[in-house]
Chains A and B, each alone.
Chain A
Amino acid sequence: MRRAAVAAIVLSTCAIGVSYATAFFAGGAPMWAAWLFAVGMTGTILGTLTLGAMRRDRGLGRLVIPFIIMTVLLGGGLAAVFLLPADLGAAEPLLLGLPRRAAIVLYVIGLLPILVLPVAYALTFADQTLRPDDLERVLHAARAARAEAAR
C-alpha cells in the first residue's frame, strides 16, 4: 500500500511535469494538458494523504471511504468544471449565488472537503492516527536505544 502511494505520487508528479512541458510548445498548452495537470494534482494530493495516513499494521482502515469521497470531490469537481459549457454571461443561471462552474470551484472543491477530511481525521484519530499506546512504545524504544548506546 505504501509502495502504491509512492508510485501514485511519482506518476502524478510526472503528469504535472508533462503538463508544464506542453506549455513550451508553439501555440501554448493544449486542453488535454490542463486535464493531465488536474489528474496529476489530484493524484499527488491523494497519494500524499494516503502515505501520511496509513499505518503499517492496518493500512488506511476506515479512512478508505473519506478518501474515496475526497477523490470524487476534487477529481470529479475539476472534471465537472472542464465538461460544463462556458458561462452564458448575464443569462447564466446562478447556483448558491455564483455561476455554475464558479460554484463548483468554491463549494465543491473549496468548502465541501472541510466536512470530509478534518472530520474523518478527528473521528479516526484514536485508532488510526495516534493510539494511546503509540507514544509509550516510542518513548520506551528511545529509552532502550539510549541505554544500549550507553553500554
Chain B
Amino acid sequence: MPHVTSPTIIIVALLYFLGVVAISIWASRRTRTARDFFVAGHGIGLIALTVASVSTSVSGFAFIGGPGLLYSIGLAALYIVLPASVTNVMGAWVLAKRMRLLGEVRGLMTVPDAIGARYRSPGAQGLAGVSMLVAIVGYMATNCLAMGYVIDAIFGVGVVPGIWLGMGITLAYSVAGGILAGIYNDVFQGTLMALASALVFVFVLSVNDGMGGISRAIMPVDASFLGPWGKLTPIAALSFFFVFGMGSLGQPQSVHKYYMLRDPQQLKWYPLLKTLGLVLVLLLYFGVGVGVKALVASGRMPPLTAPDAATPSFLLGFTPVLLAAVVFSGVAAATMSAVNSFINIGAAVVTHDLPIAFGRRVKNELFWGRIATLTIAILAALIAQFSGSMVAFLGIFGWGLFGATLVPALAFGLNWEGATKAGAIASMATGLVITLAFETLSFFNVYSFPTGVTISGLALVLSILVFFGVSWLTRMTAAASLDPDVRLVMEV
C-alpha cells in the first residue's frame, strides 16, 4: 500500500483511534464475567449487532484487496461478494434461531459449544476448537501484517512498528473490554465505513459519467473485464460463489454473534438489515474496482503499479482529503476489528472449548480469557513479523478452513436429526486434512490443482459428502447423539 501521509489524514486517524480508546474504556467497565467477555452477556440490541456484524464480515480486504482484485480479474471478483444477498438470510434460517435457543437453554458461549451440545461429544467440540485455532492463526497473522501496512501508510512509522502499534491498541480494548468493546468499536467503525463507502461510490459515478460511462470506457479496451466471468473460467468464478456462499455458515466471527442478541424475537429484521448494510459497505469494493479500471482505460489515470493501489490512488486523486482520511482510518480500524474478533474467539477456544474436550473446566474463565487474549495477540504479531512470505500462505486458507471444517457439522447437523457424531468428526477431520495438505503442497509448488478448482471448494465438497456418507453408515447411532432439549430446538 502506498504512503498516504498528510496532516489531515493523520489528524483524522488520531481522532479515530481516540474514539476507539474511549469506547473501550466504557466497555471495560461493563465487563465483569466470562459471559460478558465472550458473548457480551447475551445483551446486544438488534441495530448494534447488525452494524457490528457487517463490520466484522468485511475486514480490510473489502477496501484495499477486494477493489484491487476486481481491477485485476474483472467481474470474477464480484462472485466473492455476490452471495451476500443470500448468506445472511441463509445463516438466519439455518443457524441463528437454533444457536440462539441453544444459548438460552444451555448457556452456550462458543461455536464449538454448539457442536459439542448437538452431538453430546466433547471430542467433536475439541476438534472444532482445534480446527478453528489453526484457521485463526492464519487470519490473525495476515490481519496483523495488514494492520502494520495500513498504519505505516498513514503515519510513515514502518511496517513492524505499525504491527505492534496496531496490536497494542487492539489489545488494550480486547483485554479490557472483550467482545463488548469489539462490538461497539465495530458499530462506530461500521457506521462511518458505510457512509464513506456510499460517498466514494457517488464520486466514482460522477467522475466516470455513471455506470454507462464506466462500461463505455472499458469495453473497447478490455471487453473480457466486464464479461460475466471476468478473466476467470466459469467454474472458477462460480467456485467463489459456492465457497463464499456456503462457507459463510462456518465463519465463527459472524456465527457466534447469534448468541449475543438480547431478544431472539429481534432476529426478524436481522438478515434484511445486515444485507442492506453489507451492500452499502461493498459499494466501495465494486465502485473503485470498476471505476479505476475505467479511469485507466480512458487514460485519465496511469496504470497501477500494483492492484492494491486502486483504492489509495482513487481516493487521493479524485475525492476530498477528508473523505480519504475517513476511509484510510476505517481500513486501519477494520483490520483491528478483525484481529479483535479472532483474538476473542481464539481465547474462548483455549480457555473454554479445549479444557471441556479434555474433561476439565477452567475455574476463572474471565481471568484466563484475558491471559489467553494477550498470549494469542503477541503470538500472532510475532508470526506476522517473522514469517515472511509464509504469512500470505497462512491467510489464504482461513475462510476455506472454517467452511470445510464447520459447515457440515454445524449448519447441517443443527437441522438434520440423521447426523451422527462419527459423521461430524469425520467431516471436520476431512476438511482440516485436505485443506492443510493441499494448501501446503501448493505453497511449496509441489502440486497445484488445475485451473478452476479451488482447494477451499474441493475441501468443502468432500467434507459435506463425508459428513452425509459417514452419518448414513452410522445411522443406528443418530438417535443417541441427541439430547431431548437439543432435539426440541431442532424441531421448532
Contact (A33, B78) CB under 8 Å given A97-B210, A129-B267:
no
Inter-chain contact B492/A114, CB cutoff 8 Å: no
Min CB distance B239 to A, Å, is 7
Point out the residues of chain A lying under 8 angstroms from B121, CB to CB.
none
Question: Which residues in B have their C-beta under 8 angstroms from that of A87?
Answer: 219, 223, 226-227
Show 6 A/B contacts (Cβ-Cβ < 8 Å), sorted by A.
A20-B453, A23-B235, A28-B451, A55-B491, A131-B492, A141-B484
A41 to B239, CA, bound (A): 9
- Residues A139 and B105 in contact, CB atoms below 8 Å apart: yes
| Residue B169 is within 8 A (CB to CB) of chain A in the complex | no
Residue interface mask B276-300, A partner, CB < 8 A = 1: 1001000000000000000000000
Measured between beta carbons, the chain B residues less than 8 angstroms from A81 are 228
Q: What is the distance, in angstroms, from B207's C-beta to the closest C-beta of chain A?
A: 14
Q: A92-B219, A94-B216 known; 8 other A-B pairs, CB under 8 Å? A: A6-B412, A34-B233, A52-B94, A82-B234, A87-B227, A90-B220, A118-B89, A119-B272
- A94 lies within 8 A of B215 (CB): yes
Closest Cβ neighbor of B489 among chain A residues: A138
Say yes or no: A99 contacts B219, CB within 8 Å. Answer: yes
Sorted from nearest, which 9 A-B pairs have the closest CB atoms? A97-B211, A52-B94, A52-B93, A118-B272, A34-B234, A125-B268, A101-B228, A113-B85, A142-B105
Query: Could you tell me if A28 and B416 are in contact, using CB atoms closer than 8 angstroms?
Result: no
B-side contacts of A9, CB under 8 Å: 412, 464, 468
Contact across chains for B234 and A130 when beta carbons are under 8 A apart = no
Per the 8 Å Cβ criterion, residues 41-97 of A in contact with B are 41, 44-45, 48-49, 51-53, 55-56, 70, 74, 78, 81-82, 86-87, 89-90, 92, 94, 96-97
Residues in A lying within 8 Å of B, measured CB to CB: 2, 6, 9-10, 13-14, 16-17, 19-20, 23-24, 28-29, 33-34, 37-38, 41, 44-45, 48-49, 51-53, 55-56, 70, 74, 78, 81-82, 86-87, 89-90, 92, 94, 96-99, 101-102, 104-106, 109-114, 117-119, 121-122, 125-126, 129-132, 134-135, 137-139, 141-142, 145
Q: Are B235 and A19 in contact (CB under 8 A)?
A: yes
Q: B residues within 8 A CB of A131?
A: 492
Interface of B (DSSP majority class): helix
Contact B485 A142 (CB under 8 A): yes
With A113-B86, A114-B275 as contacts: A135 and B94 at CB distance below 8 Å: no
Q: Which of B97, B220, B238, B411 contacts A41 (CB 8 A)?
A: B238
Question: When chains A and B are docked, how far (Å) is the Cα of A14 from the Cα of B469?
Answer: 12
Residues of A within 8 A of B249 (CB): 48
Q: How far is the CB of B403 from chain A (nearest CB, A)?
A: 12
A34-B238, A52-B90 given as contacts; is B104 within 8 A of A29 (CB)? no
- Interchain CB contact (< 8 A) of A33 among B86, B235, B276, B411: B235
Q: Chain A: which residue is nearest B417 at the CB level? A: A2
Asked, given contacts A89-B219, A105-B228, A145-B484, whether A121 binds B93 with beta carbons under 8 Å apart, the answer is yes
Give the docked Cα–Cα distance between A55 and B78 (Å).
Answer: 34
| Chain B, residue nearest A126 (CB) | B268
Distance of A65 Cα from B269 Cα, bound (Å): 20
Size of chain B's interface in residues, with CB distance under 8 A?
A: 74
Q: Decide: B416 and A51 in contact? CB cutoff 8 A.
A: yes
Whether B246 sits at the interface, judged by CB under 8 Å, is: yes
Interface of A is mostly: helix
For the complex formed, measure the closest distance between the CB of A7 and the CB atoms of chain B, giving whole angstroms.
Answer: 10
- Whether B276 contacts A114 by the Cβ 8 Å rule is yes
In the docked arrangement, what's the CA distance between A49 and B227, Å?
A: 29
Chain B 399-427: CB-based contact to A (< 8 A → 1; otherwise 0): 00000000000011001101000000000
Flag if B450 contacts A23 (CB, 8 Å): yes
**B468/A130 in contact, CB under 8 A:** no
A38 and B267 in contact, given A118-B272, A142-B485 (Cβ under 8 angstroms): no
Cα A117 to Cα B275 in complex, Å, equals 11
A97 to B245, CA, bound (A): 26
Residues in A whose Cβ lies below 8 Å from that of B453: 20, 23-24
A129 touches which one: B95, B97, B226 (CB < 8 A)? B97
Q: Tell me, in angstroms, the Cα distance from A144 to B332 when the chains sit together.
A: 50
- Name the B residues within 8 Å of A97 (CB-CB): 210-212, 214-215
B267 touches A125 (CB 8 A): yes
CA distance A106 to B267 in the complex (A): 27
Please, which residue of chain B has its CB at the minimum distance from the CB of A117?
Answer: B89
Known interface pairs A28-B451, A104-B228. Does A135 touch B234 (Cβ–Cβ under 8 Å)? no
Residues of A near B89 (CB, < 8 A) are 49, 117-118, 121
CB distance from B59 to the nearest CB of A (A): 20
